[in-house]
Homo-oligomer: A and B are copies of this chain.
């Protein structure tokens, strides 16, 4: 293009962002609607905060720098104040809980669903805008609130189409782990670095196995490439205590609790954590949520810097094939736990809170893998245009179909080439094409083409099996709606 001409803008989605078309939108929406129905029944209220927050409220501003930290999309407003797009739904909840603390019910149960934005390097399957779906209870110190979240998570998974037996909600408690740390001699501020290494090691057990974790608890571990990761430097006795925790899960919840009680020994905090787990299990049991749905599992170690009490994670237990064709469990689709310091940033007062976040894209992928997506993504009936002067007739047909609740379109492109109209119907995944030339119009009939059956016949070696079901029928114009309905039902 020469310099003199006006440069045309590029038509492209910004790097790291994506667009969602048709069923990609409606399937996600159907899933979130079903989840919202469960949350609503549990008494949670919807909250939709502004997408924009002050950077100050988000906390993505270090006192000694003059620009927001990495991770958010930020700009300065007309008063030079920094604004940013929210990076999650929890930070806005903390702001709202502080801002409206005199007006909101206490405790405040809320759910939120919507996009969040991360200014991070995009990668395969990693986007800079994605959906989150959170439910939190703010202002309830009782672990009954945690138990309720676990029950609700279980209900939410079932309502979107994950059958009982194909998922498990695992519950653990940060206090138990801290108690175990005490017993292992890892309490106190001066041991924070070791505790961090221990936490990260436990978190890797699925990938590294017991031997790998033991190496990281001790001197360190050399991986396959020869790289060395420094360990926590625990002695054999200390490592034994930690490994005992990781493998404390027993056949029954009661047995797991008993084993954890042994492990936390004289730690007051640890004993409190075990009591809480026991209470959660008994509250859930009273509502009929047994270990077929929710289990105590000390193997769950997630986001531990953040959580202060119970933590939970929902895992899908059915197998899928990974990118290399190997069978593996689908894995985690949701997680959460108790946290206490978020509102304190604003008000100085600690407010107990607990919540869960469902991984929208992962759960949707699981539903697709199981063929469980619920939205009505069927293509429309396409009324073709044989005679452009009779557009009013075709629009009357499409009007009749729509009135009857049938998704339908009239072809609005240039009708000259009839082949293009059938190609269009194909692209629209249309189940039925309606055709009426002047001959059919004179006789008061329309032709219905069963495009689903047509595609099957085209893909099939023999016509034999379809011979009783014609791919094309002629019906009276007045029977259009009933005949289309019958064809759609086949």
Contacts and interface: CB of A to CB of B under 8 A. Distances in A.
Contacts of A376: 40
Given A11-B95, A286-B392, A345-B9, A41 B412 contact: no
Contacts of A288: 399
A393 B407 CA distance: 49
B48 A20 contact: yes
Interface residues of A, number: 100
B43 A427 contact: no
Contacts of A41: 402, 405-408
A460 interface: no
Nearest to A55: B9
A43 B11 contact: no
Interface string A36-67: 00001111011111111110110100010000
B14 A54 contact: yes
A57 B8 contact: no
A99 B13 contact: yes
Given A18-B50, A20-B48, A25-B48, A347 B11 contact: yes
A106 to B, nearest CB: 6
Interface string A344-372: 01111000000000000000000000000
Given A8-B346, A41-B408, A42-B402, A129 B51 contact: yes
Interface in A393-441: 393, 395-396, 398-399, 402, 405-410, 412-414, 424, 427-428
14 contacts: A8-B347, A10-B54, A10-B56, A11-B99, A13-B50, A19-B96, A21-B46, A42-B409, A137-B412, A139-B413, A142-B412, A151-B399, A282-B392, A285-B392
Interface of A: 6-15, 17-22, 24-26, 29, 33, 40-43, 45-54, 56-57, 59, 63, 73-75, 77, 83, 85, 95-96, 98-99, 105-107, 109, 115, 117, 128-129, 137, 139-142, 144-145, 147-148, 151, 155, 282-283, 285-288, 345-348, 376, 380, 391-393, 395-396, 398-399, 402, 405-410, 412-414, 424, 427-428
